[in-house]
A and B are shown apart, each in its own frame.
Chain A
Amino acid sequence: MNEFLEAVANHAFMRHALLTGVLASVACGVMGSFVVVKRISYVAGGIAHCVLGGIGAALYLQRAHGWDALDPIYGALVAALVAAVVIGLVSLKARQRVDTVIGAVWAIGMATGILFLSKTPGYGEDLMSYLFGNILMVTGRDLWLMVALDTVVVAAALLFFKQFQSICFDEEFSRVRGINVSLYFVFLLVLTALTIVLLVTVVGIVMVIALLTIPAAVAGHFTNRLSHMMAAAIFVSVIFTTGGLAVSYGPNLPAGATIIVLAGATYLLVAVIAGARRRRRRTGGNGTTDRMVTEGDRERG
């Protein structure tokens, strides 16, 4: 642990990594909560894997054709946004077999990326870092881009919280209330796409869905309101990213994978404890909530 704190004090890359974790956690807690309550992690997975297509194309143009200004993260952004709109429109129009279409988009995005990368000189290490994360290689310029993405995501989520909350809870009712549900759904996916690009830096494409959904799922066990769930998810996500960095530093483990294992283990633990508590309550042992509800009903009836 001391080793980790020393590294934070001495190395800019460690401070960047910590800050990256915090910045990613903000967007992750907000959008992850929407993704979890709307049950669209599979959609988010499709968007995440399409990101590789954009990264591959950007790297190819950069290295093989000398487009030096084209940082792979811009390719990732474009791919994520295109995927969000395509998947969004498909799930709105084609009511059947949405999962098949998302699966196809998912694979096509990845395959495109791999094709581009195979034609890009010296791609090997890049592929690994995009698939599994490169939080220790974050530059100051990357951080500013993350601040910008965070600002967009959080501002949009605050401005349109009412609409997003309502379409997540009940699309049909929202439509009756005059909300353009399709528009807000695609908008929600676009914001999710921006968040995914942020998180890819931390844990890579393959593990991004875990980091997007696990903090929100853990937070969901302790909160009863969407806004509280978001705040708790941000907190939990900061713990995961910071804790993962600290644990991985000493034994020189991959940070992204360590963060995910930490998150996954916590989630399982919380789910098991919550399950056990629910069972105990149902058998009448230490029950409080369920009984209160029943008594309230009896009074009324």
Chain B
Amino acid sequence: MTERPALELRDLSYSYDGTPVIEGANLTVGCGEFVTVVGPNGGGKTTLIKLVLGLLRPDSGSVRVFGCRPEESKPRMGYVPQRSDIDPSFPATVLDVVLMGRLGKTRRFGMYTREDVDAAMAALVDVELAELPRRPFSKLSGGQRQRTLIARALASQPDILLLDEPTANLDIAMEQELYEILLRLKKRLTLLLVSHDLAFVSGFTDTVACVNRTVVVHTTSEVTPELINALYGRDVRFVRHDHLMGGAE
């Protein structure tokens, strides 16, 4: 573990219109870890992910992604937003959407390059959509649309993947597909997943961070309390969830 943690939040606070949404949050995610952020609606889960992405600026405290400020680490971050924020009737093929993930890596002017298409196709293989690059985005099922957006995030070849509520509006079969894709990605990426669905994540996540204004970390891996305290800082209460350990890898 010579590399700096993938993600490090220190005493992070953010308020919206004077109402505190996140207060004194601390969280450390090591490289290659899979952390799930759970919490009630309005508890600040999405705010937390936006602070990590650099879309929002904290009032106080710091966010470090691979040791750098979010703005500098953007090229290393892949982001899968909530599907409900996206217009499903947008005129684009699956490949068109996935290519958008190449922005920031590709040339500034003109069309996408051969290299971009190769990276996009590789990302489609990761999400098992390699046969459908020409399928219109508007004609996809909910699960396929979800996987297209994951492929878009993967197309930039990120080191950390952040997913906001990927299980929203998915049926059980689609959840199973997503589960398998994430299990495979876990082998080569750091994953941060926001979900209200603890049942979905408990099987394969390393750590569960509960967000309700502040962050409380629960772990499913076998680490000593001393190490956890050193990793996550003094403001964090440490809770062992033994019933989740059976499902952890």
Contact = CB atoms under 8 A, between A and B. Distances in A.
Interface residues of B, number: 43
B87 interface: yes
B177 A300 contact: yes
Interface string A209-242: 0000000000010011110110000000000000
B55 interface: yes
19 contacts: A162-B112, A165-B96, A166-B103, A169-B90, A170-B100, A173-B79, A173-B152, A174-B103, A178-B74, A220-B91, A223-B91, A225-B91, A225-B96, A229-B91, A293-B140, A293-B144, A296-B141, A301-B173, A301-B174
Contact of B103 (A159, A177, A229): A177
Nearest to B97: A169
Given A159-B110, A297-B141, A226 B96 contact: yes
A177 B128 contact: no
B172 to A, nearest CB: 9
Contacts of B110: 158-159, 161-162
Nearest to A37: B90
Interface string A159-187: 11111011011101111111100000000
B231 to A, nearest CB: 26
A293 B85 CA distance: 22
A294 B141 contact: yes
A2 interface: no
B103 A226 contact: no
A176 B79 contact: yes
Interface in B67-86: 74-75, 77, 79, 81, 85-86
A294 B79 CA distance: 27
A286 interface: no
Contacts of A300: 128, 143, 177
Interface string A22-41: 00000000000100010000
Nearest to B136: A224
Given A170-B85, A176-B77, A225-B96, A161 B91 contact: no
Contacts of A173: 79, 81, 100, 152
A225 B92 contact: yes
Given A166-B103, A225-B92, A297-B141, 9 more contacts: A161-B111, A169-B86, A169-B92, A178-B74, A178-B104, A224-B139, A296-B144, A301-B176, A301-B177
A62 to B, nearest CB: 39
A289 interface: yes
Interface string B163-182: 00000000001101100000
A77 B135 CA distance: 41
Given A176-B53, A176-B74, A220-B91, A166 B174 contact: no
B104 A169 contact: no
A165 B93 CA distance: 12
Contacts of A161: 110-111
Nearest to B109: A159
B208 to A, nearest CB: 24
Nearest to A36: B91
Contact of B100 (A169, A296, A297): A169
Interface string B96-109: 11011101101001
A160 B109 contact: yes
A297 B144 contact: yes
Interface string B48-79: 00000111000000000000000000110101
A179 B141 CA distance: 29
Given A179-B104, A226-B91, A296-B141, A170 B81 contact: yes
B13 interface: no
B202 to A, nearest CB: 21
Contacts of B111: 161-162
B156 interface: yes
B138 interface: yes
A174 B85 CA distance: 13
A160 B75 CA distance: 20
